[in-house]
Structure 1
Amino acid sequence: MHDVVIVGAGPVGLFLACELGLAGCSVLVLEREPEPGSPGRAYPLGMRGLSPGSAEAFHRRGMLHPLLAASGVPDAAGRDADADEPSPPRGVGHFAGMVLDPAKVDVAALPFRLPGPAADGLFTHLEAVERVLAERADTLGVEIRRGVTVEDVVQDDGSVVAHTGEQAYEARWLVGCDGGRSAVRGRAGFAFAGTEPQFTGYVMLADVSDPDQLAMGIHLTPQGMYLRLSAGHIGVLDCDGGAYDRTRQPTADHLQTVLRRVSGTGVTLGAVHRASTFTDRAMQATTYRRGRVLLAGDSAHIHSPTGGQGLNLGIGDAMNLGWKLAATVRGHAPDGLLDTYTRERHPVGARVLDWTRAQAAVMRPDPHGWALREVLRDLLATRDGTTQVFERVSGTSIRYDLGSEQPLVGRNAPEFRLDDGTRLGELLRDGQGVALDFTAGRRLRAATAGRRGRLRYAAGAARNDLGLDAVLVRPDGVIAWAGAHDFGPADLEGFERAADRWFGAP
């Protein structure tokens, strides 16, 4: 019997498998596709943007540089990783097709952002992400079985069994990472609630007889939106109420009809090499855990890909769940630790769903949508508006409610850099938490020592300590406690309470 069975070998399932393998858990990944990779996951159709938060997750596990190499990115993700102060991001993205100027991001309004290798995120493709993660999983002893379709999930108080047509796989825990049509979610009885679609989206790689009719970039039109990213890489959003049947493969004639109507051109398509469809149906599991079965990624939530939030949301799920499930498997999890996964990640998912719903409303092809679009265009062109969008899409605005008024607690930790050059991301690579003592006063050393294997102590002055004496960082990079200057007995007590809460008693 394995400690954990993960159903689905996409980026979320593989990242979670790496987290569990790093902690020494026995992990089996079941994937229905017989072979890794497909044309739809490679460049250009598989192109995805990793937010700074997601890129940082790869950095904190030592996988950023392999991912950059696999993605064909020529330089480091963070342009000014060694600078003393953060610089404006290289890109912000768009909101409902309205592209934002990164130069308008107010860096001074982001008080907890420090320079680092992952500060700007990166563009990659799914094939590169999955290859890097699969290679890492293999080095950690994770077993991946392909061509296996899970048809049922049965659990009791002590274990859970994934049934296929011919075999049963038993584990102490099972995690569904098997996509928006998750068999695990359905068979395990999770409720899935949300809203129906407003549009149908199409992505295609096709020959275009008269490409000059379609301008490069993103374009809002009275009928929806189209984007052209390269010669024949085209996307279309058709505000048809999600009427197109996603079980049908779109024909070249249908794609040409939709593209002409939305773009307002007479463009002519030649051969269509690959095409897929999606909608903005926005649904979320009401809980991410039922007994010994958990959900992560698209199994837990689906939404429009507008704004590029799906992969990043799933990576965040895996980073949050991995260390908590590992601690539960290893037997040193404090009471209720695993329940904090739903409590922390469900609100984040709900915010992303609302973010995509808002964009669908703005793109409605009617007078109300057009009026709303013009109002938002003016607001988003301001410094405050651009900064707000950056905070949302980069993950900077995420803050878990950990019951503390200290403004850094619950947020993703800045990339603290000690004077000797050591970065926080490097200290997190073994999957342990970190007690980072900037005063090197040894006041936290004793409180940390009894939690070896779960929490490590590191001391030294920082190039920028943000006015803090010390911080306690969870394995997922979230600040669990922070002590300001004038550290005293009450601060030490607060540190010990936070360490007990997240890492268990010494």
Structure 2
Amino acid sequence: MDQVVIAGAGPVGLWLAAELRLGGIPVTVLESRLSRNPHSKALGMQPRTIEVLAMRGLDGLFTAEARRIPNGHFGMLDTRLDFRALDTDFPYQLVIPQARTEELLEERAAGLGATIRRGHQVTSVEDTGSAVVVHASGPDGPYSLEAAYVVGCDGVHSTVRQSVGIDFPGTAANAWGWLADVTLDAPPAVQGYNRSTADGAVLVAPLPDGRHRVVGMSPSDLRASRPDDLTMDEVRAKIIAATGTDFGAHSPVWLSRFGNAANLAAEYRRGRVFLAGDAAHRHMPAGGVGMNVGIQDAMNLGWKLAAVLNGSAPASLLDTYHAERHPVGVELLESTQAQTALICSFTPDGLQLRSLMSRQIAQSPEFSRQLAEQISGLSVRYPASEPLAGTRAPNLKFRDGTTLFERLTPGRPVRIDHSELAEDWAGVRSALIRPDGYVASPTMSMPDH
């Protein structure tokens, strides 16, 4: 019995399913929704996530149809972060609706043989020690599945997390952002536009279909209780208050609110149960990083589960999932909560703080680059005692014309010798690159291939 059951067919669950199938592991994905949500919470695909796609030969599917924006923002500050200075083949973020991302990833997972059941709700899970029993309800009624491992990719209200009693400590919402996918007759001239004043903060991003997403927050949104449902009249008033114009906004296809509640799972693994994505971390969507961190959770976990179930790595390898990804979650909440504080800075003192931070980004290239690396996901380093171990490997070029990402496409480790490289890489003589693109520590038990 080597099956893995995944709760949730969002981007995180689907990427994990594809990674497990790449390793030859039977996988069943249970998704409560009968059809994909047409409204896309996530829009931005950051540079490291594009690298993840490239390591499996999928980057072209996304870059071919998504908008490219060569910068990002930190806390909606006036000075944006220039991604063109980043050490990556993808110095930009992609704007692509989450619904389309899910569609492409579902095609990938299903094409590799994953079983995806829509309209199937996980109701509870039970870790028996030797297996996990998944209780679910589908169109034909309740049933149970047995799996070697279960992964909860089922969002902030994760049934999987609650079933096994993993704590989700954090803070409640005391500020509420708003979101509107609309048509703009007179959109801003720049692709990445944001403005903040004492009367509110507004960010405008182009959507691939010609519409725009307008996101913002106003002083009246700083409250513990959730405001009433958002209306188009309220959206126009908030945009005008912050910018002096409503950009000709009309014809909304989605109006929504979101809070700044922040939670982090105390454990990413308990026995045979794992958490990834929003089931493990909840935060204000500042900087557009949430889905990206979730996909990278899945990238970290997928090859490890496959290697253990294939018998090519010891079960102890699974302990490294929490050890490596939980600190990333800690940094994620630190960053998004700091950005929330900046976004909510409508007082004179707060506006001075924003002005100071914007000037520092503009005048200090190193500070700007560090923030850009954090937002882009390129700065992640896993704990290791050796200097290079745990660091992200760039897309190295080899003398035979291939690249590292091309060699990683099968999802197996790649050993590098300096004599193969087309140019020097940090003085490295040899290294073993993990299937997720990080340098393996000599102490990590890697799969036998």
Q: 1:232 to 1:477 in 2, by over 3 A?
A: closer
CA deviation string 1:216-267 (max 9, x = no partner): 7211121331123356632222343354537x64344554555555556689
1:306 and 2:301 correspond = no
Partner of 2:46 in structure 1?
51
Partner of 1:376 in structure 2?
357
Aligned residues: 436
CA deviation string 1:389-446 (max 9, x = no partner): 1121122221111221x2x22111111111111101111111111111123xxxxxxx
Q: 1:34 to 1:101 in 2, by over 3 A?
A: closer
CA deviation string 1:251-291 (max 9, x = no partner): 44554555555556689975543212111211110110111
CA deviation string 1:107-129 (max 9, x = no partner): 6xxxxx4x53x454433221232
Partner of 1:465 in structure 2?
425
SS at match of 2:165: coil
Partner of 2:200 in structure 1?
224
CA contact (8 A) 2:84 2:91 kept: no
Q: TM-score, normalised by structure 1?
A: 0.79
1:174 CA drift (Å):
0.5
Distance in 1, Cα, partners of 2:18 & 2:383: 27
CA contact (8 A) 2:308 2:315 kept: no
Partner of 1:61 in structure 2?
56
Distance in 2, Cα, partners of 1:322 & 1:72: 26
Q: Please tell me the residue identity of whatever aligns with 2:304.
A: K
CA contact (8 A) 1:105 1:390 kept: no
CA contact (8 A) 1:206 1:271 kept: yes
**Equivalences for 1:421-440 in 2 at 5 Å?**
421-439=401-419
Q: 1:306 to 1:104 in 2, by over 3 A?
A: closer
Partner of 2:127 in structure 1?
155
**Equivalences for 1:179-190 in 2 at 5 Å?**
179-190=155-166
1:131 CA drift (Å):
1.8
Q: TM-score, normalised by structure 2?
A: 0.88
Instruction: Point out the more displaced range, 2-11 or 122-131.
Output: 122-131
Structure ranking higher on relative contact order (CA contacts 8 Å, 6+ apart): 2
CA contact (8 A) 2:267 2:322 kept: yes
**Equivalences for 1:49-448 in 2 at 5 Å?**
49-69=44-64, 71-72=65-66, 91-100=70-79, 113=87, 116=89, 118-165=90-137, 166-206=142-182, 217-229=193-205, 233-239=213-219, 240-243=221-224, 245=226, 249-256=229-236, 258-259=238-239, 271-363=251-343, 364-382=345-363, 383-404=365-386, 406=387, 408-439=388-419
Q: Please tell me the residue identity of whatever aligns with 1:124.
A: I
Q: 1:183 to 1:250 in 2, by over 3 A?
A: farther
Distance in 1, Cα, partners of 2:325 & 2:168: 16
CA contact (8 A) 1:2 1:28 kept: no
Instruction: Point out the more displaced range, 428-437 or 367-376.
Output: 367-376
SS at match of 2:374: helix
Q: 1:57 to 1:267 in 2, by over 3 A?
A: closer
Q: 1:381 to 1:172 in 2, by over 3 A?
A: same
Distance in 2, Cα, partners of 1:196 & 1:284: 12
Q: 1:14 to 1:157 in 2, by over 3 A?
A: same
Distance in 2, Cα, partners of 1:284 & 1:477: 25
Distance in 2, Cα, partners of 1:162 & 1:359: 38
Distance in 2, Cα, partners of 1:26 & 1:62: 22
CA contact (8 A) 1:5 1:29 kept: yes
CA deviation string 1:292-349 (max 9, x = no partner): 1110001100111111111111111011111111122223323521111111111111
Q: Please tell me the residue identity of whatever aligns with 2:22.
A: L
Q: 1:63 to 1:260 in 2, by over 3 A?
A: same
Where do 5+ consecutive residues of structure 2 fail to align? Answer: none
Distance in 1, Cα, partners of 2:402 & 2:250: 54
Distance in 1, Cα, partners of 2:250 & 2:236: 9
CA deviation string 1:356-393 (max 9, x = no partner): 11111123222332232122122111212211211211
CA deviation string 1:160-201 (max 9, x = no partner): 122223122221111011112222222221101122334211
SS at match of 1:6: strand
Select the structure of larger CA radius of gyration. 1
Q: Please tell me the residue identity of whatever aligns with 2:222.
A: G
Q: Percent identity?
A: 37
**Alignment RMSD (CA, Å):** 2.7
Where do 5+ consecutive residues of structure 1 fail to align? Answer: 78-89, 108-112, 440-459, 482-496
